[in-house]
């Protein structure tokens, strides 16, 4: 149920992609297969922008890697949760990792709950929603000419913001947020497209690396337990 609101957005977002792909000249089957096998919304839209009679593979690969490089950081942040999971199961879970189920899993882990089910189950739900949306866009896309008119482009951002605000708060977390926001804005203004996501994540990660969280119940140095 926690993934239901975001899955509705994914259906609409997928429909927008399906419509855009068909308008670019992709065959319906190719479009649906792309969503099934790639499952990367922003990257698929970026690929469409570069689509034409002749497609240069290397630039497409570079752009897709840049957009999805945030998954390197997302995966690394889940290492404490997944380090004792068998490699085959671990990488199977990561195949369906998205921004949404990562945010929920990370928040749950902060609260002491290792929720692997939301990674797998939530990821599969969003994957199926993406495929369904693409299919609807391919065959019924004329009914959804511009999702932005319905505010659907804001749903994912609002969802992730609500997850962040609902998570654990401390001076350490707030400083990490502030530094990440500043770095992301600076990268958005002065660096190549899509690098702002990685820049913000790295800046926030630096705070977490150097400002270690004090473990509860830890005795101060030199203090004798009673």
Closest CA to 9 of 103, 132, 124: 132
Q: Alpha carbon of 209 to those of 25, 73, 76: distances in Å?
A: 47, 13, 13
Q: Which of 42-46, 126-130, 137-141, 187-191 has the highest mean pLDDT?
A: 126-130
Between residues 194 and 35, the one the model is more confident about: 35
Residue at token pair 């203004």? 189
pLDDT tens digits, 101-150:
988 898 888 888 898 999 999 999 999 999 999 999 999 877 665 666 66
pLDDT value at residue 187: 87
Rounded Cα distance between 39 and 11, Å, is 12
Q: Are 64 and 91 in contact (CB under 8 A)?
A: no
pLDDT value at residue 221: 44
Run of H or E residues at 76: helix 70-77
The domain ranges of the chain are 4-168, 169-214
Q: Are 10 and 39 in contact (CB under 8 A)?
A: no
pLDDT value at residue 226: 44
What is the average pLDDT across 89-111? 89
pLDDT value at residue 218: 47
pLDDT value at residue 120: 92
pLDDT band at residue 31 under the 50/70/90 scheme: very high
pLDDT band at residue 166 under the 50/70/90 scheme: low
pLDDT value at residue 224: 47
How confident is the prediction for the chain on average, in pLDDT? Answer: 81
> Would the pLDDT of 158 be above 50?
yes
Residue at token pair 């997850």? 163
pLDDT value at residue 163: 61
pLDDT value at residue 28: 94
> Would the pLDDT of 184 be above 90?
no
pLDDT band at residue 4 under the 50/70/90 scheme: confident
pLDDT value at residue 111: 83
pLDDT band at residue 37 under the 50/70/90 scheme: very high
pLDDT value at residue 74: 87
pLDDT band at residue 220 under the 50/70/90 scheme: very low
């Amino acid at each position: 149920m926690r993934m239901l609101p975001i899955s509705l957005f994914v259906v609409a977002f997928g429909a927008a992609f399906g419509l855009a792909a068909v308008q670019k000249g992709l065959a319906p089957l190719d479009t649906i297969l792309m969503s099934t096998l790639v499952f990367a919304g922003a990257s698929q839209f970026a690929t469409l922008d570069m689509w034409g009679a002749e497609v240069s593979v290397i630039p497409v690969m570079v752009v897709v890697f840049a957009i999805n490089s945030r998954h390197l950081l997302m995966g690394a942040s889940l290492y404490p949760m997944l380090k004792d999971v068998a490699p085959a199961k671990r990488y199977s879970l990561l195949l369906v990792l998205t921004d949404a189920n990562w945010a929920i899993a990370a928040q749950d882990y902060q609260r002491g709950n290792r929720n692997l089910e939301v990674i797998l189950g939530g990821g599969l739900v969003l994957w199926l929603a993406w495929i369904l949306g693409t299919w609807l866009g391919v065959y019924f896309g004329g009914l959804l000419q511009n999702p932005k008119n319905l505010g659907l482009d804001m749903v994912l951002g609002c969802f992730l913001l609500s997850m962040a605000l609902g998570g654990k708060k401390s001076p350490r977390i707030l400083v990490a947020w502030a530094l990440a926001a500043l770095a992301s804005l600076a990268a958005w203004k002065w660096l190549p497209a899509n690098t702002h996501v990685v820049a913000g994540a790295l800046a926030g990660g630096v705070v977490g690396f150097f400002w270690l969280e004090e473990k509860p119940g830890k005795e101060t140095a030199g203090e004798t337990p009673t």
